[in-house]
Amino acid sequence: MKKHKLEAKFKKWEIINKFKNEKIIDILLENRGIVAKKSVDEYFNPTHPEKIGLKELGISRKSVTRVIKRIQKALRNKEKTIIFGDYDVDGITSSAILWEYLYSAGLDVTPYIPERFSEGYGIKEDSVIKLKEKYPDLSLIITVDNGIIAYDAVSKANKFGIDVIILDHHESGEKYPEAYAIVHSTKLCGAGIAWFFVREIDCIIQNSSFKIRNYLELAVLGTVADQMPLVGINRSIAKYGLEQLNTTQRTGLLALYESAGIEKGNIGVYEINYIIAPRLNAMGRLENAVESLRLLCTNNRSRALELAGLLNRTNIKRQKIVDEVVTKVKLKMSKKYLDKIIVLEGDSYHEGVIGLAASKLTEEFWLPSIVISKGKDVSKGSARSIPGFSIISAIRSAGDLIISGGGHEMAAGFSIFTNNISKFRRAMKKYAESNLDGKMLEKKLKVDTSLLYSNLTHELVSQICEMEPFGIGNPSPSFTTDTCEVIEVRQVGKSGNHLKFKLKKENIIIDAISFSDLNNVSDYYPGMKLDIVYNLEENYWNGNVSLQLKVKDVRESIL
């Protein structure tokens, strides 16, 4: 017998569209806002990024032309140029795209990735001074995935006679920095902007040694890892980028696949999010992200294997540190932190993983979360949010309490004087009280439609596969079926926290699997009736193919 009532992961299941015997695929498309024939055609056959115009990207042709002319001048005069990137996957891949192209075109160019702990995010005055001291003849800096609010750094560069070109996708401030030129769009990630910019410059320079299509494999890594909605332009990058990623000849990526135990040909959004991106990110979180950049750009197999091994070991270390920080944070949790926003600080919170800790808190408590690594004078904070609440707007509302900050609606980072943390916490709670409503705080699971088992077919699986790649903005279709009878349940997986079911409905039995189940195997019993939300997939075993339900949530049926 069960020991307690089953615990559901979500407070509410929201069925988007009731099933009324129409084609299931039409319901799925309608739920994603894809109704018109042109939209449907574009969804299933996205325009290749090579054919997407700058106007669609929200990028000024005038700005791009100005940048290209400046780079042509740098090529003619053999000017020293720095590509100034960032230490996350998007910053690393955008740096790799731009550096490889300009270097192969003959420019005297060096990539530069700031060190998280001593330099922090983005180009700063100190960065410019340091680079000018190291490269006295430096005359051009190109930022990628940062720079859109680097007012002081650009001003310092201008005083040194260094032109600054900004390629960025983050939210701008009230005005742009006084840079030589700015290529800015919030429709893409940094790697996406870098890819399209390189496409444009190659139309002029026509570098025969460079195949722009191959670099979509880097653009898709940045796009997926930076959590861009996989619709429209980003869907095009994802679809064609994944094709390149699965046929890549890039030495570093092949070494990373080998080290991570994944196979070329089987790489999708999941593999990027949970296997590839964490390894590339690990260096920037704990050490120096330049090693990840070197891995992506090396042509030496032995060096690539060495670097891939380093990334793998660093990622394991990163996982342990995250677990330690999350444990410490949860021990500190109390009712006073659970108003409408979580703001926690600690001098033992590792700066490199506080974003991951904030993410775990938001996922568990369904509240915007800010975790601050306390320093003696200056502290670093990282924040994650829930849909509908802009965390970067919240942080910027603190005004002079923070030193600097940047990011998106869902994720942001900032620095703050340590003696301002208490005032900052009060400011965040006041902002959340005014801008967070009850509906946002309801942890809802959106479900495409409710189906019977008789609606579930291999043909439906094939149609769903045509909707890939799935991700933010284009979620994997989910369905609900009620009163499914438990025939059998057992524990699976190394830790035993996955559950395998046989569930019966309409005299049809289908296997189901629940990963990281909140409930214990003893909470279920034969004959028990369950309502379930699931993704439909096929399971391949011993040469046989069968339907399988990947359970997202479960509750006991009310009979």
pLDDT in tens, 271-308: 999 999 999 999 999 999 999 999 999 999 999 999 99
Name the residue range of residue 137's domain: 49-212
Predicted local distance difference test score (pLDDT) of residue 114? 95
Q: With cut-offs at 50, 70 and 90, classify the pLDDT of residue 2.
A: very low
Q: What percent of the chain has pLDDT over 70?
A: 98
The domain that holds 97 is classified in CATH as 3.90.1640.30
Are 133 and 176 part of one and the same domain?
yes
* CA dihedral for 405, 406, 408, 413, sign (positive or negative): negative
CA distance 218 to 245: 8
Are 17 and 56 part of one and the same domain?
no
Residue 227 lies in a domain: no
Are 197 and 74 part of one and the same domain?
yes
Are 202 and 57 part of one and the same domain?
yes
Residue 34 lies in a domain: yes
- How many domains does the structure of the chain reveal? 3
Are 136 and 208 part of one and the same domain?
yes
Residue 186 lies in a domain: yes
Q: What percent of the chain has pLDDT over 90?
A: 82
Are 189 and 92 part of one and the same domain?
yes
Selection from 417, 410, 364 nearest residue 384 by Cα: 410
| pLDDT > 60? residue 337 | no
Predicted local distance difference test score (pLDDT) of residue 4? 54
Residue 198: in which H helix or E strand, if any?
helix 190-205
CA distance 366 to 223: 25
The domain that holds 485 is classified in CATH as 2.40.50.460
Residue 198 lies in a domain: yes
Are 37 and 78 part of one and the same domain?
no
**pLDDT, mean of residues 225-231:** 93
Q: With cut-offs at 50, 70 and 90, classify the pLDDT of residue 5.
A: confident
Residue 313 lies in a domain: no
Are 143 and 201 part of one and the same domain?
yes
Q: With cut-offs at 50, 70 and 90, classify the pLDDT of residue 338.
A: low
Selection from 525, 478, 481, 480 nearest residue 505 by Cα: 481
Higher pLDDT, 20 or 104: 104
| pLDDT > 80? residue 518 | no
| pLDDT > 60? residue 42 | yes
- Is the Cβ–Cβ distance between 168 and 145 less than 8 Å? yes
Q: With cut-offs at 50, 70 and 90, classify the pLDDT of residue 207.
A: confident
Predicted local distance difference test score (pLDDT) of residue 556? 94
Are 361 and 454 part of one and the same domain?
no
Are 191 and 95 part of one and the same domain?
yes
Q: With cut-offs at 50, 70 and 90, classify the pLDDT of residue 181.
A: very high
**Gyration radius (Cα) of the chain, Å:** 25
Two tokens, residue 102 = 């300009």
| pLDDT > 50? residue 1 | no
The mean pLDDT value of the chain amounts to: 93
CA distance 10 to 552: 9
Residue 412 lies in a domain: yes
Residue 241 lies in a domain: no
Per mean pLDDT, which range of 322-336, 420-434, 500-514 is the poorest?
Answer: 322-336
pLDDT in tens, 116-164: 888 888 999 999 999 999 999 999 999 999 999 999 999 999 999 999 9
Q: Is the peptide bond before 278 cis (omega within 30 degrees of 0)?
A: no
Are 31 and 172 part of one and the same domain?
no
Are 391 and 350 part of one and the same domain?
yes
Residue 81 lies in a domain: yes
**Final residue of a domain: which of 212, 232, 256?**
212
**Final residue of a domain: which of 413, 441, 469?**
441
**Final residue of a domain: which of 441, 458, 474?**
441
The domain that holds 415 is classified in CATH as 3.10.310.30
Two tokens, residue 514 = 């629940």
